[in-house]
């Protein structure tokens, strides 16, 4: 029972610490990942010695496989077709030369500095060219980040894993004992590029149609729709793996189907399911932080330091000229090129050859882990500095005046009849809002629609202010909304 109790305790600690630190970490800009690596080290053999997750731990295998599937699914759900169409030139620059050229240059550096085989160098190049979405989440939510920069980083972190995963998988075939037979390569290519995406898209499509039918007949609770989306991700993964396809690309394809075909299910996942996915990813960071991510430190020498420097700098060197003539300003090009952390997605890709039993894979993982540690420090510090420099000033705390009783007209008749408690925000009709305005009372119309719905609609209520539902307090403080006004919020 001890391993089971340890696992339950670890999961509970991740939830407790993530919840308690969420506000402080967001204000400071320090990546939550750094806190969880420290938590893992404190619990591991170099700390309290309570947990030690090794390479061949079944728990790590399950966490990393599900974590990579969730990273790909979550990234795909957040992708908007309209956004991709309007930024086609930026898309191809980021996912073409912006992703593949750094991968090639890192592979060449690995071959020259570390003396590994070409296939092993390709694995390192593919994994270390992946831009981590987990480390980028805090800055992608920052209102001070220019729109084109946010779009570019979201596209890159959301889609470049799909470009790099085949590189890692095909290079793994060449490192298998006995080499890669032609039939094995053909099956892997079919599984990667045909079976995985087709089955994932099919599971997503069938799931959406089934959900729509149930919605129309008996209804589905909104919070359960987010869990339903996670179920589609895991079902698509299992379906593809069961027939020799790529479960990871299946999860990505299922996410694309959800994001493009069912806006309501997509929004439910972003509201509820994304937090569940983030907990699993943070748990993976804790597991890796107990001992595995620190295995790169004993490898420190001149050659590995030079390789680490190349792996961290090459993306910036390549992206800055590649993004010329894409419609972004010089300042925006600088920000896009600088914010490219290596993190969990790199480690999860590097664990694939470890779990496949590829000779020398554990050393390759340790080298990649060293790069990730430096990236957490350097990129995490850069993100924290940017967020603190552009943080909205916090309003001074003052005793809240006694709130006057709401006017009778502010409560919809249907609610009044049902005896809705006073603590619940009342519904208000357009006629009631106009009556408040006619009496000269201050009224602020707040557009709090989900980001996807807001961007897809070119219409907005006259005089409305935009407050993102992800962090309404921050936006309201930045806008200096009057505390004495009646806020009329719509989120259709």
Is 230 within the bounds of a domain?
A: yes
Comparing 4 with 413, the larger pLDDT belongs to 4
Are 348 and 220 contained in the same domain?
A: yes
Note whether 258 and 229 are within 8 A (CB). Answer: yes
Are 248 and 335 contained in the same domain?
A: yes
| Tens digit of each residue's pLDDT (9 = 90 or more) over 421-458 | 444 456 777 777 788 777 777 888 888 776 666 666 66
Q: Which helix (H) or strand (E) holds 486?
A: strand 486-490
- Would you state the pLDDT for residue 408? 41
Token pair for residue 405? 């009783």
- Residue 219: left (phi > 0), alpha (psi -120 to 50), or beta? left
Are 361 and 486 contained in the same domain?
A: no
**Structural domain of residue 484, as residue ranges?**
408-490
Are 372 and 416 contained in the same domain?
A: no
How many CB atoms sit inside 10 A of residue 400's CB? 7
pLDDT band at 389 (very low <50, low <70, confident <90, very high): confident
Q: From CA 111, how far away is CA 115, in angstroms rounded?
A: 5
- Would you state the pLDDT for residue 416? 38
What's the length of the chain?
492
Is 239 within the bounds of a domain?
A: yes
Q: From CA 48, how far away is CA 44, in angstroms rounded?
A: 6
Is 397 within the bounds of a domain?
A: no
Are 376 and 437 contained in the same domain?
A: no
- Would you state the pLDDT for residue 109? 96
Comparing 184 with 378, the larger pLDDT belongs to 378
CA angle at residue 53 from 48 to 59, to 5 degrees? 130
| Tens digit of each residue's pLDDT (9 = 90 or more) over 183-205 | 666 677 776 778 888 999 999 99
Are 378 and 437 contained in the same domain?
A: no
Is 447 within the bounds of a domain?
A: yes
- Report the chain's terminal Cα–Cα distance, integer Å: 49
Q: What is the mean pLDDT of the chain?
A: 79
Is 400 within the bounds of a domain?
A: no
Are 341 and 416 contained in the same domain?
A: no
| Tens digit of each residue's pLDDT (9 = 90 or more) over 319-367 | 999 998 888 889 999 999 998 899 888 998 999 899 888 989 999 999 9
- Would you state the pLDDT for residue 235? 93
Calculate Rg over the CA atoms of the chain: 24
How many alpha carbons fall within 13 Å on the CB side of residue 80?
15
* Helix, strand, or coil (residue 208): helix
**What angle separates helix 97-109 from helix 147-175, to the nearest 10 degrees?**
50
Is 394 within the bounds of a domain?
A: no
DSSP 410-440: GS-HHHHHHT--TTSPPP--HHHHHHHHHTT
Token pair for residue 71? 């990273």
| Tens digit of each residue's pLDDT (9 = 90 or more) over 25-82 | 666 666 677 777 888 888 888 887 777 888 888 888 888 888 878 878 887 887 776 7
Classify residue 111 as exposed, middle or buried by CB count within 10 Å of its CB (0-12, 13-18, 19+). Answer: middle
Are 186 and 98 contained in the same domain?
A: yes
DSSP 365-410: HHHHHHHHHHHHHHHHHHHHHHHHHTPPPPPPP-PPPPPPPPPGGG
Tell me what percent of the residues of the chain surpass a pLDDT of 70: 77
Are 281 and 412 contained in the same domain?
A: no
- Would you state the pLDDT for residue 294? 92
Token pair for residue 463? 């005089």
Residue 385: CATH number of its domain = 1.20.1530.20
Are 340 and 419 contained in the same domain?
A: no
- Would you state the pLDDT for residue 37? 84
User: Last residue of some domain: 359, 389, 419?
Assistant: 389
- Would you state the pLDDT for residue 50? 76
Residue 480: CATH number of its domain = 3.40.250
The tally of domains found in the chain comes to 2
User: Last residue of some domain: 320, 354, 389?
Assistant: 389
Is 399 within the bounds of a domain?
A: no
Are 105 and 238 contained in the same domain?
A: yes
Is 433 within the bounds of a domain?
A: yes
DSSP 21-61: HHHHHHHH---HHHHHHHHHHHHSTTTT-S----TT-HHHH
pLDDT band at 273 (very low <50, low <70, confident <90, very high): low
pTM attached to this predicted model: 0.74
| Tens digit of each residue's pLDDT (9 = 90 or more) over 108-163 | 999 999 999 999 999 999 999 999 887 887 788 777 888 888 888 988 887 888 88
Tell me what percent of the residues of the chain surpass a pLDDT of 90: 22
Tokens 């320090």 correspond to: 30
| Neighbouring residues of 1: CB distance < 8 A, sequence distance ≥ 6 | none
Comparing 233 with 269, the larger pLDDT belongs to 233
Are 355 and 445 contained in the same domain?
A: no
């Amino acid at each position: 029972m001890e391993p089971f109790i340890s696992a339950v305790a670890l999961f509970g600690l991740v939830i407790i610490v993530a919840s308690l630190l969420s506000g402080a970490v967001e204000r400071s800009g320090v990546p939550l990942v750094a806190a969880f690596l420290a938590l893992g080290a404190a619990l591991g053999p170099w700390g309290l010695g309570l947990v030690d997750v090794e390479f061949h731990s079944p728990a790590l295998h399950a966490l990393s496989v599900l974590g990579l599937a969730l990273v790909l699914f979550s990234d795909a759900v957040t992708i908007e077709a309209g956004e991709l169409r309007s930024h086609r030139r930026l898309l191809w620059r980021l996912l073409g030369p912006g992703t593949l050229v750094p991968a090639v240059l890192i592979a060449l550096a690995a071959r020259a500095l570390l003396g590994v085989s070409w296939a092993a160098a390709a694995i390192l190049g593919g994994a270390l060219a992946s831009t981590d979405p987990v480390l980028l989440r805090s800055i992608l939510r920052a209102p001070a980040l220019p729109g084109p920069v946010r779009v570019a980083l979201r596209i890159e972190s959301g889609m470049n894993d799909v470009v790099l995963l085949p590189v890692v998988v095909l290079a793994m075939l060449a490192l298998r004992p006995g080499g890669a037979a032609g039939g094995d390569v053909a099956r892997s290519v079919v599984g990667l590029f045909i079976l995985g995406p087709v089955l994932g898209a099919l599971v997503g499509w069938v799931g959406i149609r089934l959900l729509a039918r149930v919605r129309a007949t008996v209804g589905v609770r909104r919070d359960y729709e987010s869990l339903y989306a996670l179920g589609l991700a895991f079902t698509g993964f299992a379906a593809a793996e069961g027939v020799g396809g790529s479960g990871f690309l299946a999860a990505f394809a299922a996410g694309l189907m959800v994001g493009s075909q069912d806006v309501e299910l997509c929004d439910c996942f972003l509201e509820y399911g994304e937090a569940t996915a983030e907990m699993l990813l943070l748990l993976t960071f804790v597991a890796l932080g107990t001992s595995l991510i620190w295995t790169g430190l004993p490898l420190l020498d001149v050659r590995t330091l030079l390789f680490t420097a190349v792996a961290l700098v090459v993306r910036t060197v390549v992206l800055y000229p590649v993004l010329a003539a894409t419609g972004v300003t010089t300042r925006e090009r600088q920000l896009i090129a600088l914010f490219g952390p290596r993190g969990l997605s790199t480690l999860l890709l590097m664990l694939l050859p470890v779990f496949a039993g590829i000779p020398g894979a554990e050393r390759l993982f340790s080298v990649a882990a060293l790069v990730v540690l430096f990236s957490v420090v350097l990129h995490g510090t850069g993100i924290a500095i940017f967020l603190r420099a552009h943080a909205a000033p916090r309003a001074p705390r003052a005793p809240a005046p006694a709130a006057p009783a709401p006017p009778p007209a502010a409560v919809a008749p249907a609610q009044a009849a049902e005896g809705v408690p006073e603590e619940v925000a009342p519904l208000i009709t357009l006629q009631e809002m106009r009556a408040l305005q006619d009496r000269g009372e201050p009224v602020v119309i707040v557009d709090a629609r989900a980001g996807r719905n807001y961007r897809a609609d070119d219409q907005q209520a006259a005089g409305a202010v935009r407050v993102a539902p992800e962090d309404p307090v921050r936006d309201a403080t930045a806008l200096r909304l009057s505390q004495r006004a009646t806020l009329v919020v719509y989120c259709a």
